[in-house]
A and B are shown apart, each in its own frame.
Chain A
Amino acid sequence: MTLAANPAAAGGVGATAAPWARTALIVVSLTFLTLILIVPVVSVVGYAFSEGWEHYLAALRAPDTIAAIQLTLLTALIVVPINTIFGVAAAWAIAKFDFRGKHMLITLIDLPFSVSPVIAGLVFVLLFGAQGWLGPWLDTHDISIIFAFPGIVLATLLVTFPYVARELIPVMQMQGREAEEAAVSLGARGFTTFFRVTLPSVRWALLYGIILCNARAMGEFGAVAVVSGHIRGSTTTMPLQVEILYNEYDLTGAFAVASLLMLLALVTMLAKTLIELYGARRRRPLRVRPPADVGAEHRRP
């Protein structure tokens, strides 16, 4: 959300504030951010490399850590595509049609945002755990969900559920329906309409939603901690591996794994910034415009 217009720079109202007040406010802002955000983030790198490169690389090559990285990647590889398909379907139904209960549906889709991660794990334990509703049945059929990979996938699906839908719905609503209606009335089939008409104009929002969904899927801690059982090398994802190493006083190891997760966060932020810059320039909602406006679009470099 970069604000291009800066009234103070243009000599607007804010420029009348006393110079000392302006300096004081900037200093307060930067000090607060430094203490609460920048120092902790920089410390991750500092502690990770505190015993040198070789120790850092060795920590990342530990078999349990490699297993944790693999499990995290595999979980994201399953969860992100499923929630992307869901997000696209939900956005199509909500943005392109009018039906009763739409507002309620949007609220329910947003629900996982307001539920504690621990609750997101707890619900699956109560459903599939040994004393859960389906526990005895699963036990007799020798299926394990809790303290196993399926539980990790389910908990991650729940916490990352709204991300893609949430980014797509407002953009697809703004885009209107005329272009799709024109395509369909000219004989295009549903999937053709979506891939050729809708998708090109929402692709940045879709990409942004997928990136956010992926970041949360790989970084989720609370929900996964509840369902995983912390079995080393088997049901331990990267954030859980950070916890295990930290609790064993292996600070370098914990911060080495944490540094990978922080890299993921920084790449996510960079991608977000690029999408905002590039998408703002390129994303033009497909809409039926007056002819004069259509020509103007092509004149732009």
Chain B
Amino acid sequence: MQAHRWVQPSVLPGFGLTLGFTGAFLAAIVLIPIAALVLKGASLPFSEFWRIATEPRALASYRLTFGASLLAASLNAVFGFIIAWTLVRYSFPGRRLVDAIIDLPFALPTAVSGIALATVFAPQGWLGRWLAPLGIQVAYTWIGVVVALTLIGLPFVVRSVQPALAEVDKTLEEAAESLGASAWTSFRRVILPAVAPSLATGFALALARAIGEYGSVIFIAGNLPMRTEITPLLIVIKLEQFDYLGAAALGLVMLMMSFLMLLTINALQGWRARRATGRGR
């Protein structure tokens, strides 16, 4: 009978007050401003929106933003998995310290990691001077963009995979190995399927973060139009030229990408939750 009410009755006070404040504040700070962007983008005729969103400089920026983000998220998937594995399975001196510093990119302001990477990988920098004789230039090239996006995405994969790896059913692994499976086979057939949803979630989170990233990239990227210019920077440039409509059109493209990533991540987390509850059967 209660099913027709939208809120279940409760003896606790404060529902109207807290939900009302939550809703009003959410609308004022998040929803109305985002709606302003959507409306501004939608005020353009579609042909005009399409022209701005697909001009060569914008297309080049999408290619760099998505290409570098995909590469960085893939690097994080591989190395993040190895790091999570060593942290969960092995003990070595400094393991707890390594475990603690994994979260550092979450806490480090992006301007700090940005200038640090740009300086360290510059041809005269701490790492760049060793790469320069090999003919590898990281700073001011697309490689630098990948390096910066790898740094900021690192914690996502490690922190997604770590708990899943710790909970892999040991008895299955022991059964596989006692039946003669090699360590590699038991890894591929037992561990990987159990961890796959968490690995995919971590990859998607790192990718979503990388696509929107600005601060840590712009210092190392060099920011050459058509070559090393990411989409968020192109939006900033349009704003600096007071081209609000152009900025709104590109902003709308990025916002749609964010929604798409958000839906993907929600679906992946659903998969992970089902896998977690299914394990008990």
A-side residues, CB < 8 A to B, are 1-3, 5-9, 12-14, 16-18, 21-22, 25-26, 28-30, 32-33, 35-41, 43-44, 46-47, 86, 89-90, 92-94, 96-101, 105, 107-112, 114-119, 122-127, 129-133, 154, 157-158, 161, 177, 180-181, 184-185, 189-190, 193-194, 212, 215, 218-222, 225-226, 238-240, 242-243, 246, 251, 254-255, 258, 261-262, 264-266, 268-269, 272-273
A–B pairs, 10, beta carbons within 8 Å = A1-B163, A7-B89, A37-B154, A98-B8, A133-B39, A158-B30, A177-B10, A185-B11, A258-B112, A258-B115
* 9 tightest Cβ-Cβ pairs between the two chains A and B: A219-B109, A116-B212, A14-B89, A221-B215, A123-B33, A222-B214, A190-B13, A239-B111, A40-B116
**Interface pair A265/B82, CB less than 8 Å apart:** no
- Check if B22 is an interface residue, CB within 8 A of chain A: yes
Question: For the complex, what is the distance from the CA of A66 to the CA of B34, rounded to whole Å?
Answer: 34
**Interface pair A108/B258, CB less than 8 Å apart:** no
Query: Restricting to B232-267, which residues have a CB under 8 Å from any CB of A?
Result: 232-233, 235-236, 239, 242, 244, 247-248, 251, 254-255, 258-259, 261-262, 265-266
- Check if B200 is an interface residue, CB within 8 A of chain A: no
**Interface pair A222/B86, CB less than 8 Å apart:** no
Question: For the complex, what is the distance from the CA of A126 to the CA of B77, rounded to whole Å?
Answer: 37
Query: Contact flags (1/0) for B13-43 with A, using CB distance below 8 Å?
Result: 1110111011101100111111011011000
Question: For the complex, what is the distance from the CA of A3 to the CA of B88, rounded to whole Å?
Answer: 7
**Interface pair B6/A177, CB less than 8 Å apart:** no
**Interface pair A242/B34, CB less than 8 Å apart:** no
Q: Apart from A26-B86, A43-B125, A119-B251, what 14 extra A-B contacts exist at CB < 8 Å?
A: A2-B96, A35-B127, A89-B25, A92-B18, A93-B14, A94-B22, A98-B8, A116-B213, A125-B239, A129-B244, A158-B33, A215-B107, A219-B111, A261-B112
Q: Chain A interface mostly helix, strand, loop or mixed?
A: helix
Q: Say how far A44's CB is from chain B's closest CB, in angstroms.
A: 5
Query: Which of chain A's residues has its CB closest to B191's CB?
Result: A13
Q: Say how far B190's CB is from chain A's closest CB, in angstroms.
A: 10
- Check if B151 is an interface residue, CB within 8 A of chain A: yes
Question: For the complex, what is the distance from the CA of A178 to the CA of B262, rounded to whole Å?
Answer: 34
Q: Say how far B258's CB is from chain A's closest CB, in angstroms.
A: 5
Count B-side interface residues using an 8 Å CB cutoff.
103
**Interface pair A6/B10, CB less than 8 Å apart:** no
Query: Which of chain A's residues has its CB closest to B19's CB?
Result: A93
**Interface pair B112/A262, CB less than 8 Å apart:** yes
CB-contact partner of B10 in A89, A96, A111, under 8 A: A96
**Interface pair A38/B101, CB less than 8 Å apart:** yes
**Interface pair B177/A97, CB less than 8 Å apart:** no
CB-contact partner of B174 in A13, A109, A158, A193, under 8 A: A13
Question: For the complex, what is the distance from the CA of A40 to the CA of B110, rounded to whole Å?
Answer: 12
Q: Say how far A279's CB is from chain B's closest CB, in angstroms.
A: 15
- Check if B275 is an interface residue, CB within 8 A of chain A: no
Query: Which of chain B's residues has its CB closest to A245's CB?
Result: B115
Query: Which of chain A's residues has its CB closest to B259's CB?
Result: A114
**Interface pair B214/A117, CB less than 8 Å apart:** yes
- Check if B99 is an interface residue, CB within 8 A of chain A: yes
Query: Which of chain A's residues has its CB closest to B117's CB?
Result: A40
Query: Which of chain B's residues has its CB closest to A129's CB?
Result: B244
B-side residues, CB < 8 A to A, are 6-8, 10-15, 17-19, 21-23, 25-26, 29-34, 36-37, 39-40, 79, 82-83, 85-92, 95-96, 98-105, 107-120, 125-127, 147, 150-151, 154, 159, 162-163, 166, 170, 173-174, 177, 183, 208, 211-215, 219, 232-233, 235-236, 239, 242, 244, 247-248, 251, 254-255, 258-259, 261-262, 265-266
Contact A1-B99, Cβ < 8 Å, known A39-B120, A89-B21: yes
* Set of chain B residues within 8 Å of A1, measured between Cβ atoms: 99, 159, 162-163
**Interface pair A117/B18, CB less than 8 Å apart:** no
**Interface pair B111/A243, CB less than 8 Å apart:** yes
* Set of chain A residues within 8 Å of B107, measured between Cβ atoms: 212, 215, 219, 264-266, 268-269, 272
**Interface pair B11/A221, CB less than 8 Å apart:** no
**Interface pair B108/A9, CB less than 8 Å apart:** no
* Set of chain B residues within 8 Å of A119, measured between Cβ atoms: 37, 212, 232, 235, 251, 254-255, 258
